[in-house]
Structure 1
Amino acid sequence: MVQVEEAVALKNTNRAQANIKLEAYGYAIADATKAIEIDQSFVKAYYRRAVANTAILKHADAIHDWKVVVRKNPSDKVAKAQYEACQKLVKRDAFLKAIEVAEAPSAAVGLDLENMIVEDSYDGVRLKDEMTKEFVDDMIQRFKDGKRIHKKYVFQIILAVKDLVYNEPTMVETKVEQDRKLTVCGDTHGQYFDLLEIFRLNGFPSEKHGYLFNGDFVDRGSWSTEIALLLYAYKWLYPNNFFLNRGNHETDDMNRMYGFEGECKAKYTERVFKLFSESFSALPLATLIGDKFLTLHGGLFSDDAVTLDDIRKLNRHNQRQPGQSGLMMEMLWTDPQTEPGRGPSKRGVGLQFGPDVTKRFCEKNGLEAVIRSHEVRMEGYEVEHDGRCITVFSAPKYCDSTENKGAYINIESDYKLQFQKFDAVPHPDIKPMAYANNGMMSMMGM
């Protein structure tokens, strides 16, 4: 009997590790918990649960399991380092919460752009008061060559776009006119060279060719600042037909864990990260395309009563970060499931919604489908829920470790969805998560 229980505990613990690899952290926590219930002395199960809770930023939960691991295996130097790192994160989270101010001053206060000097030695195109195609083209090449743009221009771009998106509604509404095209892209996650491959294959943004990037521009991939600045530059250049939805990785907690904060500090300054953070909180949460397709990063809601009007009325400016509940959190975090109804999230954050939920929402709001991102799809996209729920993911060979394709969706004035797949392209030898909290990431095999 004891051997059977040990085998079951081991099976659950191994499955927890597999779910960690799949980023199904909620399932990993459940599996590890089952293993612990069977065998309270099984150190590896505590270890897996600690890793999963750390990944979804539940540091206060993770710290208890790290403590158990260290107590049971005092010679495990790696676990001890993780326990100490987790203690620091818990203290940091408490400190940040304590100093949270509803109307904190902007990081732009005291930033004297007018008198900021761009040195004569700067070899890039100069930026004045308006974005130009010449500047964007030069910036694309600079980033390909491993160069940066001057920090004055970084500040200019972020501040200009912050103002633009702040003044857009929470749900942007757009139509595709005759002889125009709109391309919807999913997560790009700092994979700059794959973003350029989309433009190479599909055409660069222009007055007649709009783009919608559906969140998660940053984190994980190690060219997140390059992607964010390029997308922002295009938003400034084509404000009326280049759209940006917020994703769950355009949030402070995720950026601190998964690399964007560290990358901003390494390539530019901490102030750059703070300004990006302010701009992320100003981004719209959804885009309605031709009254037919609701496009948002995560998915649908815990309550069937939610309508498009509720999204329209949502004042996102009152809540900078999505929190653990509410419409904003659900729009950024939820996922579809094959079973009817709603279920617990495999991620450990948000929830999952079934085909019946999607059908009711679309019929109630006069929609053809919901377009969302947020999850790897091996073919780059997937049509599910009887055609009413479409996932598009635009980071091929995600994190250099998943053999998935990327995809994007072209929409013309007939509103027929045209799916295009593409493969990853080579990039310089810089690994994913190069700027992340690498101590924690090593726990997850990243």
Structure 2
Amino acid sequence: METISEENVAKAEEFKNEANDFFKNQKYDQAIELYTEAINLNPNIAIYYGNRSFAYLKTECFGYALQDATKALELDKTYIKGYYRRASAYMSLGKFKLALKDYETVYKTRPNDKDAKMKYTECQKIVKVMLFQKAIAVDDEKKPVSDSINLEAMDVEEDYSGPRLDDGEVTETFMLALMEHYKAQKKLHRKFAYKILLDIKKYFSSQQSLVDVEIPENSKFTVCGDIHGQFYDLMNIFELNGLPSIDNPYLFNGDFVDRGSFSVECIFVLFGFKLLYPDHFYMSRGNHESATMNQMYGFEGEVKSKYSGQMAEVFTEVYNWLPLCHCLNGRVLVMHGGLFSEDGVTLEDIRKTDRNRQPPEQGIMCDLLWSDPMPSMGRAPSKRGVGVQFGPDVTESFLSVNNLDYIIRSHEVKPEGYEVAHNGKCITVFSAPNYCDTMGNKGAFITMTGGKMIPKYTTYEAVDHPPVKPMAYANSILSLLAG
């Protein structure tokens, strides 16, 4: 260990204490900056890395959180919180076996600690369930759950007063009624919910991984970013920008669900509009349209609470068919995450990508769902632990190879709801204001016309919602991440 002057030791402690205050006030980015200052002055203190790891967990930078927790443990193998933090990072990345190893270390060190025992036991259950599922899964023989749904056997009770499909079809009247029904916190009958899921699966499975969208010269087109189960903010977007229609087309760019506790309402409204206006309403897959994310961040729990475990499995099958990105007028590529860990990827490569699966940990599909831009040149390991970070030169090269003007992506909270980076060539849009009821950010959407394709930004504040907190349906897995 390097020798640190007394002055730097004292100054580092001041930075750490200041950072702790920011952390308590949920200002995680400022906390990270100050923990970094403390580390720069005195890199020998495990707790600085442990605290910064926790702040990175809060900002979903799971890769950085993992690095910091590991560094903390290199400095002090007895630092129990380091094992907790690293286990949390592994859990967030779906690496449950590695998380279990760290929880086991804590439990063996503190056998009488109730919290340690609970976390170890819960993680053990998850690993056992995963191993069991793996043992019984025979991929080439397993029939899709959706094939076993028998709509004819589902009766609609006489006292059901909610919206009904018109001869099995979504209509404008149905959609208007559905949104009002949801605003009143009522539930769509499972028969109609399943019909929408089966129809949308059939539709998406006929689409390519990259969908080409033609926007007429003077026509308006809207791109929205993450919604994350914030149904009442979704309704506000439609208030501000008009309901979807043939003359008012939309593209929703992934992460429709999870975290917000009205994810079921969001997804059925979006799927309903897709069925109503298939050529004027588009949906890209996000990294949260996956089984592991849904298991952890609330969507699976919400579907089970409002419907059933069987329906949760059908959603997973539908999400596997969501397109990975959209190309607008051959000039703008829209994907949820970002660009690639290798040069030379073409639109044709994306079109040929087999997407009917859970997101892999590397490759084109992974990068489209998980990657993030960075201001410096080149590429760097992802702060999330999945995908890659890419610089302005990577963006410029990709646009040049594919003769595109710019890219639009989502995936990251931004204070103003959007951010323009990489010399105007990489735009982030995030449409969930005051994300998780804590972040204080604005939401935004982008509008453009088909001729000029110049992005215009509309920002808005969060609206009130019923007193159901974000993460209300999150799996017990997630409660493990707090400690």
TM superposition score normalised by structure 1: 0.96
In structure 2, C-alpha distance between the alignment counterparts of 1:217 and 1:263, rounded to whole Å: 13
3-state SS of 1:36 partner: helix
Q: Deviations over 1:2-55 (max 9, x none)?
A: 997896211111111111111111111111111111111111111111111111
In structure 1, C-alpha distance between the alignment counterparts of 2:246 and 2:125, rounded to whole Å: 48
Compare 136-145 and 52-61 and name the one that shifted more: 52-61
1:416 counterpart residue number: 454
In structure 2, C-alpha distance between the alignment counterparts of 1:120 and 1:35, rounded to whole Å: 61
- Among 210, 215, 228, the alignment partner of 1:171 is 210
CA apart distance, 1:442: 5.3
In structure 2, C-alpha distance between the alignment counterparts of 1:115 and 1:124, rounded to whole Å: 19
Matching of residue 109 in structure 1 with residue 147 in structure 2: yes
CA apart distance, 1:312: 1.3
Compare 308-317 and 292-301 and name the one that shifted more: 308-317
In structure 1, C-alpha distance between the alignment counterparts of 2:88 and 2:255, rounded to whole Å: 22
Write the letter of the residue equivalent to 1:160. Answer: D
3-state SS of 1:421 partner: strand
Compare 69-78 and 147-156 and name the one that shifted more: 69-78
- Among 332, 335, 342, the alignment partner of 1:296 is 335
1:33 counterpart residue number: 70
5+ long unaligned stretches in structure 2: 10-41
- Among 415, 423, 426, the alignment partner of 1:389 is 426
Matching of residue 66 in structure 1 with residue 96 in structure 2: no
The 5 A counterparts of 1:317-396 are 317=356, 320-396=357-433
- Among 71, 78, 83, the alignment partner of 2:115 is 78
1:126 counterpart residue number: 164
- Among 178, 196, 216, the alignment partner of 2:255 is 216
CA apart distance, 1:64: 1.5
Compare 336-345 and 189-198 and name the one that shifted more: 336-345
Q: Deviations over 1:59-109 (max 9, x none)?
A: 111111111212222332122111111111122222223333334212123
5+ long unaligned stretches in structure 1: none
Write the letter of the residue equivalent to 2:347. Answer: L
In structure 2, C-alpha distance between the alignment counterparts of 1:125 and 1:8, rounded to whole Å: 60
In structure 2, C-alpha distance between the alignment counterparts of 1:154 and 1:274, rounded to whole Å: 14
Write the letter of the residue equivalent to 2:252. Answer: F
CA apart distance, 1:116: 2.5
8 Å CA contact 2:63, 2:384 repeated in 1? yes
Say which structure, 1 or 2, has more relative contact order (CA 8 Å, 6+ apart). 1
3-state SS of 1:162 partner: helix
8 Å CA contact 1:218, 1:249 repeated in 2? yes
8 Å CA contact 2:163, 2:188 repeated in 1? no
Write the letter of the residue equivalent to 1:157. Answer: I
Compare 71-80 and 340-349 and name the one that shifted more: 71-80
In structure 2, C-alpha distance between the alignment counterparts of 1:335 and 1:221, rounded to whole Å: 22
CA apart distance, 1:115: 4.2
Matching of residue 428 in structure 1 with residue 466 in structure 2: yes
CA apart distance, 1:233: 0.3
2:283 counterpart residue number: 244
Write the letter of the residue equivalent to 2:134. Answer: K
* Count of paired positions: 443
Matching of residue 151 in structure 1 with residue 172 in structure 2: no
3-state SS of 2:419 partner: strand
3-state SS of 1:50 partner: helix
3-state SS of 2:47 partner: helix
Identity of aligned residues (%): 47
In structure 2, C-alpha distance between the alignment counterparts of 1:243 and 1:215, rounded to whole Å: 10
1:183 counterpart residue number: 222
RMSD: 1.7
3-state SS of 1:17 partner: helix
CA apart distance, 1:406: 0.6
CA apart distance, 1:437: 1.3
Distance 1:20 1:115, change over 3 A: closer
In structure 1, C-alpha distance between the alignment counterparts of 2:409 and 2:56, rounded to whole Å: 22
Write the letter of the residue equivalent to 1:252. Answer: A
3-state SS of 1:189 partner: coil
Compare 48-57 and 204-213 and name the one that shifted more: 48-57
